[in-house]
Amino acid sequence: MPLFDQELTVLNVGLSAFADAIRLAGGKAVEIEWSPPAGGDRSAGLTLARLVNDPRVEAANRAAFAAYLAAEPVLEGIGRAAEVIPGLRGRTILHAGPPIAWQKMCGPMQGAVIGAILFEGWASRENAARALAERGEVLFSPCHHHGAVGPMAGVISPSMPVWIVRDPASGRRSFCNLNEGLGKVLRFGANGTEVIERLAWMATTLKTVLEATLGEAGPIALKPLMAQALHMGDEVHNRNTAATSLLLRRLLPPMLRSRASRDDIAAAIAFIAGNDHFFLNLSMAACKAMLDAARDVAGSSMVVAMARNGVEFGIQLSGTGDCWFMTASPVVDGLYFPGYSIADAAPDLGDSAITETAGLGGFAMAAAPAIVKFVGGTPDDAIANTRAMGHVTLGSNGGFTLPAMNFAGTPAGIDARRVLDSGLLPVINTGIAHRQAGIGQIGAGITHAPLACFTQAVTALAATLPDE
């Protein structure tokens, strides 16, 4: 056996026990991380094999990805939700993630809904608000069904102000509510007096100032601003310090030229300057616009939404219309604030994974090494996350470059086939809410989109593409 007389180069795939035996015998073995396609699900694996290299899917993905790249979302204005969001009528409340009934909602989402009912004045006390929801006198609908997105609970009610973002290429509009800051805030399920009063101030003073400012400023292109923030340590999901600062710098001169009063301007500026996350909701609306541009391309396996309602994690593909592919939302094993642990956490929540779907957030972590102080890990992990996502995406976005990776574009356009094939799950930077309403954020961390969503999605896509 001359093979065993020389030094062996052993690559081990699968069970570690084989490599262990070699090591115990004094040899060296490299373990290759590998898992069978579709996590070993034979039926899904066969379906996947049929779609891999299918020229119909390849062509559809090229079209969808090109549409995503071509979108140039601009901040057009701010408006009252009921007046600008299509289909938001009467006692309707929008929420994050796929559809969900009141009874099934997680604590923070129920808390946010109650807060929205109080804010709207449909009830004047918490119990009455809860009863209203339980009696079915409030309609619930996902933000995503209305061209909108919202972070965490993602609750948008008719009287709230929303950002209006337009993509001139498609003519479509996208919407997002305004960021309230940290601490006790509606999106984490808080609904006390300070929360409702802040929402009222945002719907009046802040909206008035921003309306006057944007009227004076004209449309503001969002992609260049986001691209600059990526060069300044943001990934525009969980870190928006630079983007918020740049936005404020952009808004200030028109704000001071506008007809808004000095006191209102001072209050608006203090509010925005005091909240590093203020830009997040604009980032989300911009990402929504880029991905809506890629929707409804028959045969495309490109993911156009990933969203969580705090109970279920859902994704949508360009080639399967408005269908959601859902499974239980994971609980995030992240960095918890002092006094809290994973036992206190609500399952993953919010539409903010729209940023990862657009190639930002966790996909652009290489741009934001400092974020590891917030979500855990090391700067090398941040770069590794971005690099890994290159294996499950259709291309890179040259509009969003990463200095730490020699100005490579951020990986973008998740291909559900590649996720299912490789088992490399889309990485998401996320905040963590307490599972009870009203307590707020208790941590942040990195989570992954569950494989089951992709299994279902690829199976459903295959059903639209009969064998020729």
CA distances from 311 to 107, 192, 216, 327, 430 (A): 10, 24, 42, 9, 15
* Shortest Å, Cβ 378 to its own copies: 6
End-to-end CA distance of the chain, in Å? Answer: 51
Q: Could you say which of 13, 270, 328, 463 contacts its own copies (CB under 8 A)?
A: 270
Three-class DSSP labels, 344-408? HECCCEECCCHHHHCCCHHHHHHHCHHHHHHHCCCHHHHHHHHHHHCCCEEEEEEEEEEHHHCCE
Nearer to its own copies, 170 or 241 (CB): 241
Q: Give the position of tokens 């449309």.
A: 219
Q: Does 370 bind its own copies (CB under 8 A)?
A: yes
Q: Does 221 bind its own copies (CB under 8 A)?
A: no
CA distances from 287 to 197, 218, 413 (A): 29, 20, 12
Question: Which one, of 282, 256, 228, lies nearest residue 77 by Cα?
Answer: 282
Q: Could you say which of 215, 219, 376, 379 contacts its own copies (CB under 8 A)?
A: 379
Nearer to its own copies, 320 or 401 (CB): 401
Nearer to its own copies, 66 or 252 (CB): 252
Q: Does 182 bind its own copies (CB under 8 A)?
A: no
Nearer to its own copies, 48 or 202 (CB): 202
Q: Contact, 60 vs 413, CB < 8 A?
A: no
Q: Does 259 bind its own copies (CB under 8 A)?
A: no
Distance of CA 126 to the CA centre of its chain: 30
What residues numbered 380-409 form the site for its own copies, per CB under 8 A? 380, 403-407
What residues numbered 49-68 form the site for its own copies, per CB under 8 A? none
3-state secondary structure of 87: coil
Sign, CA dihedral 412-67-280-301, equals negative
Cβ neighbour number for residue 373 with a 10 Å cutoff: 12
Q: Which residues of 221-231 are buried (b: 16+ CB within 10 A; e: fewer)?
A: ebbebbbebbe
Cβ neighbour number for residue 466 with a 10 Å cutoff: 6
* Shortest Å, Cβ 260 to its own copies: 11
Segment near its own copies (CB under 8 A); pick from 138-146, 257-265, 337-345, 414-422: 257-265
Nearer to its own copies, 136 or 253 (CB): 253
Q: Could you say which of 104, 378, 463, 464 contacts its own copies (CB under 8 A)?
A: 378
* Shortest Å, Cβ 236 to its own copies: 13
Segment near its own copies (CB under 8 A); pick from 20-28, 77-85, 238-246, 324-332: 238-246
* Shortest Å, Cβ 241 to its own copies: 6
Segment near its own copies (CB under 8 A); pick from 55-63, 100-108, 233-241, 425-433: 233-241
Residues that bind its own copies (CB under 8 A): 228, 231-234, 241-242, 245-246, 248-250, 252-253, 256-257, 262, 265-266, 269-270, 273-274, 369-370, 372-373, 378-380, 403-407
